Amino acid sequence: MQSKNWPAPEPRGASAAGPADEGIDVSIVVPAHNEAATLRELWQEAQAALAGRDLRWEMLVVDDGSSDDTAAILRQLHAADPRFGAVSLRRPCGKTAALVVGFRAARGRHVITLDGDLQDDPREIPRILEALADWDVVNGWKEHRQDPTVRLLASWLFNVASRRLFGLKLHDINCGLKGFRREVLAELPLYGELHRFLPLLAHWRGFRVTELPVHHRPRRSGRSRYGPMRGFYGAMDLLTVIFLTRFRRRPAHLFGLAGAGLLAPGVLIVLYITCLRLIYGNIQQRHPLLLAGVLLIVVGVQLLTAGILGELVAHAIAPADREYPVRFELIVNRDRGS
């Protein structure tokens, strides 16, 4: 068993994936948080799914600050098989962070992602690999999704909005089961909570994206981290993706439109009040209207300035946001894997 310190993060806009290893065909990246009850079975199912295939592969589990026995199980699985590797974070940093860490550690020419709760079926991995022969990104579609009704409704609304806004006809953008060619991951901006939008970001970069119906299973252990604020966070992240894909290089177009929408009526109101003052010598009891006009102007100017400056600041500090606290790393023995 080997361990080492994780390297310093790469600047935003640089590759989210590490350099490829020509000897590894497939890397399976699994973000996991308190999934100790399922990791052994997940590993066994992945082995069974790829058994007998002429592939050199590895699995990398990223422990997102689990408080159960996940770390101990990762050490045991690594000691038992050279194809199993892991990275353990000292505190929960979120699924996007776990994926970034996993992508950096992965060395396969193709990268498959799936969740660690066994709802995603590892038996679908060979089908995704076959589809990657013709596509750059293969997104799973949980056609018969085994989740509570509230979550199904929220997911439906999210997917409808994404299809309307981006024109990418996918039914299940946030499915955990996905496949990527390595060159795709090298170009995608991945920080914050943008893991939900990987297919959209790949489509924006000009990669070929398709979907594949996959088997989805009910959760058998642990608990979902889908909370009441998830919908709000998803909507805010959707706005971030709109900015990244449409206004990243021309932010003034976005904030200018919103700012102008407030500035224009504000200026008209102030001009109207000015005319009253010039004609009648007073503003004819229009004090509330004057206050409204001034407020619209102030808020419009703030949108034009604070919004753009905020995005510039976020762009500048993004590399620091990708420094994740690694507890330990268990490195795949690529010379012995098969």
Work out the angle between the directed axes of helices 70-80 and 39-50 (0-180°, nearest 10): 30
pLDDT classification of 218: cutoffs 50, 70, 90: confident
Query: Which helix (H) or strand (E) is 84 found in, with range?
Result: strand 84-89
What's the whole-number mean pLDDT along residues 77-104?
A: 92
| Pairing of the two strands 137-142 and 209-214 | parallel
| pTM assigned to the model | 0.72
Residues 6+ apart with CB under 8 A from 27: 57, 58, 59, 60, 106, 107, 108, 110, 111, 112
100 or 13, greater pLDDT: 100
DSSP, residue by residue, 152-175 = HHHHHHHHHHHHHHH----S-TT-
The pLDDT score that the predictor gives to residue 14 is 39
CA distances from 117 to 49, 98, 184, 280 (A): 17, 15, 26, 73
Q: Which residues are bridge partners to 181 per DSSP? A: 110
* Residues 210 and 135 sit within 8 Å (Cβ to Cβ): yes
Q: Which two tokens stand for residue 57?
A: 């592969």
The pLDDT score that the predictor gives to residue 187 is 87
pLDDT digits (tens, 9 = 90+) for 126-179: 999 999 999 999 999 988 777 767 777 777 887 787 777 778 888 888 889 999
Q: Which of 150, 318, 152, 158 is nearest to 232 (CA)?
A: 158
Q: What per-residue confidence (pLDDT) applies to 138?
A: 96
CB 139 within 8 A of CB 212: yes
- What does the pLDDT look like over 264-314, one tens digit per residue? 888 899 898 889 888 888 888 888 888 998 899 888 887 777 666 655 665
* Distance of alpha carbon 83 from alpha carbon 164, whole angstroms: 41
pLDDT of residue 3: 39
Do residues 107 and 21 lie in contact, with contact meaning Cβ atoms separated by under 8 Å? yes
Q: Which residue has the tokens 């009040």?
A: 273
Higher-pLDDT residue of 14 and 204 is 204
Write the pLDDT tens digit of every residue in 249-264: 555 556 666 777 888 8
What average pLDDT does the chain have? 81
Strand order in the sheet with 26-32: 209-214, 137-142, 178-181, 110-113, 26-32, 57-63, 84-89, 326-330
Q: Per residue in 8-63, pLDDT tens?
A: 334 333 346 666 666 899 999 999 999 999 999 999 999 999 998 999 999 999 99
Q: Which residue has the higher pLDDT, 332 or 55?
A: 55
User: Do residues 118 and 42 touch, judged by C-beta distance below 8 A?
Assistant: yes
153: number of Cβ within 10 Å: 11
